[in-house]
Amino acid sequence: MTKVAVAMSGGVDSSVAAILLKNQGYEVLGVSMKLWPCAEIDGIENRPDICCSPVHIHHARSVAENFHFPHYVVDLEEDMEEEVIGPFCEDYLKGLTPSPCILCNERIKFKRLWEKVRDLEVEFLATGHYAVLRHDARYSIAKAKDREKDQSYFLFSLTQEQLRRTLFPLGLHTKEEVKEIARRYGLPIKEESQEICFVPDNDYAGFLRRRNRMVFNPGAIYDLSGKQIGVHEGICHFTIGQRKGLKVSLGEPRYVVEINQEENSIVLGKKEDLYRKVLFAHMMSFMKGEELSGVSAWAKIRSTHQPAKCTIIKMEEDLYRVEFDEPQKAVAPGQAVVFYDEEEAILGGGWITRSKKSIGKGH
């Protein structure tokens, strides 16, 4: 019997994933990750509705007991701090817009967790992600059946070795189908949190302030003409496309269109000023094995973005230029750009460094 470890957060998706695999004849082991450093480091009380909280770990153990498979808890707090939370804080302090869920998948779930469970002689690691694993000459990930719940964007940087030992039982199910399976087996269906697990109040700047015990450097707010129109309390309070909380009154809506770390400044503009024709990306990975240069693809610049047609051009070692057929709104440095083919399978992706309005030559 093939043995598989299922990463169980305590939510309905990973619980159903474990049940589906058990029903398919796998020998299932449930594993929950202890990732919760916030109470100790940040001073915030634990939230019972957040993934991998003590309450959710208890839920995961209950599912394992009810369906007669073993359950383990793996302590990965230090790894989470080093590989995800630390880089998240550093990026925000630089004025970037990080995507910690991608790093958590790449470095924690599919790397550190695997290193812990492989001693249990498992052949696969399964998760409750909504994504489809494909295999022809190489492994790749395609969008899930449920396009609204699709999580392929967050998995673009997984390696061939990681994909080879991975299962996504929910990829060909819709969320409603998963809920129906949960009801059939008497599992509770709770409202899902959309917050980052280690920022339970969703206040990033507050989290950084409490965590780092630091005072943010105030700086200037400019309009696109270079005129100073206000003062900010720290660039980590802002992200590209932000409209609320700017503390500048100009009689009509203004948006953050640029964050300049070197000058510690913010630039505001109108909604139309948010659109960019070109972005640059580095730290690229190629899931299909082919280096993407001179290739047309469909790009997502954030998880909720509708894919847009583009051309990918290699500029120099580990620097790529992405030219969109139509300008895209709020391209945020620090986020990932993920490329898909016509069949909605991932070609590769990388991390956005900057953007510009026109196709003009140069970097």
Task: Please return the burial class of 68, using the count of CB atoms within 10 Å of its CB with bins 0-12, 13-18 and 19+.
Answer: exposed
**226 contact partners, CB below 8 Å, separation of at least 6:** none
pLDDT recorded at residue 41: 42
Considering the four listed CATH numbers 2.30.30.280, 3.40.50.2300, 3.20.20.10, 2.40.40.20, the one that applies to the domain covering 216-269 is: 2.30.30.280
For residue 314, list its beta bridge partners: 320
Q: If we measure between CA atoms, which residue out of 292, 271, 270 comes closest to residue 337?
A: 292
pLDDT recorded at residue 325: 97
CATH architecture of the domain 3-184 equals: 3-Layer(aba) Sandwich (3.40)
pLDDT in tens, 274-294: 999 999 999 999 998 878 888
Q: How confident is the model at residue 270 (pLDDT cuts 50, 70, 90)?
A: very high
Q: Is 201 helix (H, G, I), strand (E, B) or coil?
A: coil
The dihedral sign for the CA sequence 348, 354, 358, 363: negative
pLDDT in tens, 302-357: 999 999 999 999 998 889 999 999 999 999 999 999 999 999 999 999 999 999 88
Q: Is 259 helix (H, G, I), strand (E, B) or coil?
A: strand
In order, the DSSP letters of 296-346 are EEEEESSTTPPPEEEEEEEEETTEEEEEEEEEEE---BTBEEEEE-TTSBE
The C-alpha atoms of residue 106 and residue 276 are separated, in whole angstroms, by 28
- Residues annotated as catalytic (active site), given as ranges: 104, 197
CATH superfamily of 274-356: Translation factors (2.40.30.10)
Domain ranges of the chain: 3-184, 216-269, 274-356
pLDDT in tens, 38-95: 444 444 445 555 566 677 888 999 999 999 999 999 999 999 999 999 999 889 888 8
What is the CA 229 to chain-centroid distance, rounded?
34
pLDDT recorded at residue 191: 66
The answer to whether 3-184 and 216-269 have equal CATH topology is no
Q: How confident is the model at residue 217 (pLDDT cuts 50, 70, 90)?
A: confident
The C-alpha atoms of residue 259 and residue 222 are separated, in whole angstroms, by 10
DSSP state of 233: S
**Are 319 and 125 in contact, with CB atoms under 8 Å apart?**
no
Residue 102 has pLDDT above 70, yes or no: yes
328-to-157, 312, 324 alpha-carbon distances in Å: 23, 15, 7
Residue 186 has pLDDT above 80, yes or no: yes
291 HSE (CA, 13 A, CB side): 11
Q: Is 60 helix (H, G, I), strand (E, B) or coil?
A: helix
Q: How confident is the model at residue 195 (pLDDT cuts 50, 70, 90)?
A: low
Task: Please return the burial class of 45, using the count of CB atoms within 10 Å of its CB with bins 0-12, 13-18 and 19+.
Answer: exposed
Global confidence as pTM: 0.91
